[in-house]
């Protein structure tokens, strides 16, 4: 079926944007920025897993040519609701449709904001189709590293990082390469448990873990921030994005989240990007690059910020951060295992099947089982992902017999 939507009438200079993961935290912020610039961008496709109401609402506001729901029943419900309001949006169902819209010819820019490994294939499809890929889905890069970067290079795609730290680094690096760069200073707030008694971490509830002090985000990344696995995934993400070794990346705990990351140069200069903690800044930057557009974000008030604090990361409190450094050194299979075990662990923790302190245990176990080396083809990446999920689930099953959670 051919949609009869706005992309065909769009001004030739207006860019078509597909938002993968439109109903999530990053997806919603993206649509907020797009809504401020209707003359510059038009929405070509929106996707979600199964949130019918939210996607319906977004379709009514943005009139995309396509809407994708991974869940088949949810897709049927969305289709019915859209027909009752006379919408022309074509509804597609299933995970394969994500790849279809990510590589759709009328889409110039693709916001990759699906959470977790589910975002790998559609993000890769956008890179293979030579799009401007605005990458929020860090797990995709952690899993596929070189393969993803090669897809960008070989297909003339543009890769713009959405993760606030990586966007800050991108803004602070020289225009070409990394000449004169001494190291990357990757900042992190330290999450909600930076100062909590270590002995009480086993009692942390999902509600406490998702309450991030500075950022409002989806559940999975919020738990990742609480374990600092998020910073670990970001170390690996930065290695691939900027072609540097993990030893060139220093994590700096900065509780105010005002400095979003920095680059230190051999002449003693340090260039930082600062701002209020609001994802609309990196989103607007990536949409407009190399220009700038209004993001709807308040100007930083330095008198309000008043002070900036820094401390080194505590690897005993946050073993997941150390595991991520280790995984990247071991190789690609280990990074896939780290990510897969973490996804299984976070989901189990959120469902109260395991304790907060069992998250690192599961990951350590996955790393011990991971083969050395790096997969060279997509199929091997997917096989390792499945295998690590299987063993992580088994670990939980066996462990649950001995532990009662909360």
Instruction: Assess 346 for contact with ligand NAD (CB under 6 A).
Output: no
C-alpha 350/C-alpha 219 separation (Å) is 8
Binding to ligand NAD by residue 212, rule CB under 6 A? no
Note whether 161 and 147 are within 8 A (CB).
Answer: no
Closest distance of CB 12 from ligand NAD, Å: 30
Phi, psi of 338 (to 5 degrees): -55, -50
Should residue 342 be labelled a site residue for ligand NAD when binding is judged by CB under 6 A? no
Asked whether position 51 contacts ligand NAD by CB under 6 A, the answer is: yes
Name the residue nearer to Mg ion (CB basis): 163 or 278.
Answer: 163
Comparing CB distances to ligand NAD, the nearer of 10 and 66 is: 66
Backbone φ/ψ region at 268: left (φ over 0), alpha (ψ -120 to 50), beta = left
In this complex, which beta carbon is closest to Mg ion, that of residue 99 or of residue 163?
Answer: 163
Degrees, nearest 5: CA angle 200-202-207: 95
Q: Decide whether 111 or 330 has the Cβ nearer to ligand NAD.
A: 111
Contact set for Mg ion, span 163-182 (CB under 5 A): 163-165
Interacting partner of 375 out of Mg ion, ligand NAD, none (Cβ under 5 to 8 A depending on kind): none
Q: Is 237 in the site for Mg ion (CB under 5 A)?
A: no
**Could you say which of Mg ion, ligand NAD, none residue 114 binds, taking C-beta under 5 to 8 angstroms by partner kind?**
ligand NAD
Q: Report 118-137 residues binding ligand NAD (CB under 6 A).
A: 118, 136-137
Q: Which is nearer to ligand NAD, 93 or 253 (CB)?
A: 93
- Measure Cα distances from 148 to 105, 144, 216, 236 in Å: 20, 6, 28, 13
CB of 109 to ligand NAD, least distance (A): 16
228 forms part of the interface with ligand NAD (CB under 6 A): no
User: What are residue 47's DSSP bridge partners?
Assistant: 68
Angle at Cα 244 formed by Cα 384 and Cα 254, nearest 5°? Answer: 95
Using CB distances below 5 to 8 A depending on partner kind, what does residue 347 bind out of ligand NAD, Mg ion, none?
A: none
> Which of 34, 45, 102, 221 touches ligand NAD (CB under 6 A)?
221
In which element (H, E) is residue 287 found? Answer: helix 280-288
Which residue number has the CB closest to Mg ion?
A: 163
- When computed from its CA atoms, the radius of gyration of the chain, rounded to whole angstroms, is 21
**Contacts (CB under 5 A) with Mg ion, residues 249-278:** none
- Least Å distance, CB 161 to Mg ion, is 9
The C-alpha angle with vertex 180 and arms to 179 and 186, in degrees rounded to 5, equals: 95
DSSP string, 98-160: HHHHHT-TT-SEEEE---SGGGHHHHHHHHHTT-EEEE--HHHHHHHHHHHHHHHHHTT-EEE
Q: Angle CA(394)–CA(204)–CA(197) in degrees, nearest 5?
A: 125
Tell me the C-alpha distance between 15 and 27, whole Å: 17
Binding at 319: pick from Mg ion, ligand NAD, none (beta carbon under 5-8 Å per type): none
Closest approach, Cβ 90 to ligand NAD, in A, equals 18
CB 241 within 8 A of CB 161: yes
Contact stretch for ligand NAD (CB under 6 A) within 1-9, 219-227, 303-311, 376-384: 219-227
Q: Which of 16, 24, 161, 313 binds ligand NAD (CB under 6 A)?
A: 24
Nearest CB to ligand NAD, comparing residues 24 and 64: 24
Residues 245-284 within binding reach of ligand NAD (CB under 6 A): 279
CB 218 to ligand NAD: min, Å? 3
Using CA atoms, how far residue 118 sits from 69, 99, 107, 122, 290, in Å, is 13, 11, 20, 8, 30
Q: Which residue has the tokens 């004169």?
A: 180
Residues near ligand NAD (CB under 6 A) are 21-27, 48-49, 51, 70, 113-115, 118, 136-139, 163, 215, 217-221, 279
Binding positions for Mg ion, rule: CB under 5 A: 163-165
């Amino acid at each position: 079926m051919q949609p009869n939507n706005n992309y065909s009438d769009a001004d030739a200079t207006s860019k078509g944007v597909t938002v993968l993961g439109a109903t999530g935290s990053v997806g919603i912020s993206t649509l907020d920025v797009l809504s401020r610039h209707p003359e510059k961008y038009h929405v070509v496709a929106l996707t979600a897993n199964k949130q019918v109401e939210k996607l319906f609402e977004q379709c009514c506001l943005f009139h995309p040519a396509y809407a994708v729901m991974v869940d088949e029943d949810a897709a049927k419900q969305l289709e019915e609701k859209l027909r009752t309001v006379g919408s022309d949006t074509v509804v597609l169902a299933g995970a394969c449709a994500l790849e279809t819209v990510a590589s759709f010819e009328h889409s110039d820019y693709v916001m990759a904001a699906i959470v977790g490994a589910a975002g790998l294939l559609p993000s890769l499809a956008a890179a293979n189709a030579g799009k401007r890929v605005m990458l929020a889905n860090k797990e995709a890069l952690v899993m596929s590293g070189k393969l993803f970067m090669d897809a960008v290079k070989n297909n003339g795609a543009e890769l713009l990082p959405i993760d606030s730290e990586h966007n800050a680094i991108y803004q602070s690096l020289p225009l070409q390469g990394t000449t004169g760069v001494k190291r990357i200073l990757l900042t992190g707030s330290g999450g909600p448990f930076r100062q909590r008694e270590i002995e009480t971490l086993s009692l942390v509830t999902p509600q406490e873990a998702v309450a991030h002090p500075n950022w409002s985000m989806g559940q999975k990344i919020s738990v990742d921030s609480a374990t600092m696995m998020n910073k670990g995934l970001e170390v690996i993400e930065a290695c691939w994005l900027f072609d540097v070794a993990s030893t060139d990346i220093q994590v700096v705990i900065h509780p105010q989240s005002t400095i979003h990351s920095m680059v230190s140069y051999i002449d003693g200069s340090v260039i930082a990007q600062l701002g209020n903690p609001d994802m609309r800044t990196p989103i607007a930057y990536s949409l407009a690059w190399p220009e700038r557009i209004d993001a709807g974000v308040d100007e930083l008030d330095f008198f309000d910020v008043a002070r900036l604090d820094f401390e080194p990361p505590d690897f005993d409190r946050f073993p997941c951060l150390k595991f991520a450094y280790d995984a990247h050194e071991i190789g690609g299979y280990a990074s896939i295992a780290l990510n897969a075990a973490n996804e299984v662990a976070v989901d189990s923790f959120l469902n109260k099947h395991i304790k907060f302190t069992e998250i690192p245990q599961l990951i350590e176990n996955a790393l011990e089982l991971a083969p050395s080396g790096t997969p060279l083809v997509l199929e091997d990446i997917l096989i390792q992902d499945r295998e690590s999920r299987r063993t992580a689930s088994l670990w939980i099953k066996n462990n649950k017999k001995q532990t009662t959670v909360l």
